[in-house]
Amino acid sequence: MTLAGRTALITGAGGGIGTAVARAFAAAGADLSLADIQPVTALADEMRATGRRVLDTPTDVTQSSQVNALVQATLKALGRIDVLVNVAGTVSFGPAETLAEAEWERVLAVNLKGTFLCCQAVIGPMRAKKYGRIINIGSILGKNGGNARPWLDAGEQANASNVAYGVSKAGVHAMTMFLSRELANAGITVNAVAPGPIASAMTQNFPQRLRDLIPVGRMGNADDVARACLFLADESSGYITAEILDVNGGMWGD
């Protein structure tokens, strides 16, 4: 797979998955526009050292003005946007009974609204080129109702992602399906990658008894997700759209 001559915009580039996607795409030959809430200077410098052209733009994806500015800055500096990978996201834990309204709104603003704003902002430039790959990051939790089993152990829910997170990711899956149909005749594919439990700073408290339920015997890692994104970003994947690609070690299949 090659992305030589392509430019990829990656949100949430400062996190584990975003960083892995950036490295995989740079290795495949892509120039990169990296966005996160804070600058990702070290990652940008690392990618430039590989010979890639790189833009680093701090961006709050919940703000349409900042997202639009990011897209315009990318077009000005790098000339095009061929691939968008929406990694920017946040997590939330605990039971629905005590979930604060502000927390619900925060999670949906980042995970769902932010993903939509980024998708919306690249449609015009991609239509103009009659080519595009949009890859959203969903989740197994948008499909399976959550990993926790509170009927067996109420404590599992406290350390498991909650209903706000699951709803936000289910919305990302639905968005992917809608946009794939709307944009198919413009040469733009829209897919999602739905990871299962991924080892990261955010999953340090993932209970061992839930880890033991993963059929392949381990948690996933960021590179597992990045490789799936690279596959969907490749030009040869143009007949694949509306796919929610599970990367979960066998925890869920459909």
Is residue 119 a part of any domain in this protein? yes
pLDDT for position 111: 98
Cα–Cα distances (Å) from 142 to 138, 170, 221, 222, 235, in that order, read 7, 4, 19, 19, 28
Q: What is the pLDDT of residue 204?
A: 76
Residue 250 lies in a domain: no
How confident is the model at residue 23, as a pLDDT? Answer: 98
* pLDDT of res. 159: 81
Which residue segment(s) compose the domain that 95 sits in? 7-206+216-241
Q: Is residue 226 part of a domain?
A: yes
The answer to whether residue 66 sits within a structural domain is: yes
Q: Is 131 a catalytic residue?
A: no
Consecutive H or E run containing 20: helix 16-27
Beta bridge partners of 33: 9, 55
pLDDT of residue 156: 86
Domain containing residue 89: CATH number: 3.40.50.720
Contacts of 2 (CB under 8 A, 6+ apart): 28, 29, 234, 235
User: Do 242 and 192 touch, CB atoms closer than 8 A?
Assistant: no
Token pair of 224, please?
């597992």
Determine the pLDDT at residue 230.
Answer: 98
pLDDT of residue 154: 84
pLDDT at 254: 87
Assess if residue 117 is contained within a domain. yes
b (16+ CB within 10 A) / e for 199-220: bbeebeebbeebbeebeeeebb
Query: Is residue 139 included in any domain, yes or no?
Result: yes
List, for the chain, all residue ranges whose pLDDT scores fall below the cut of 70. Answer: none
Q: Is residue 211 part of a domain?
A: no
Active-site annotation holder among 71, 165, 171, 194? 165
User: Which pLDDT belongs to residue 252?
Assistant: 93
Q: Is 254 domain-assigned?
A: no
Q: How many domains does the chain have?
A: 1
CA distance 198 to 206: 10
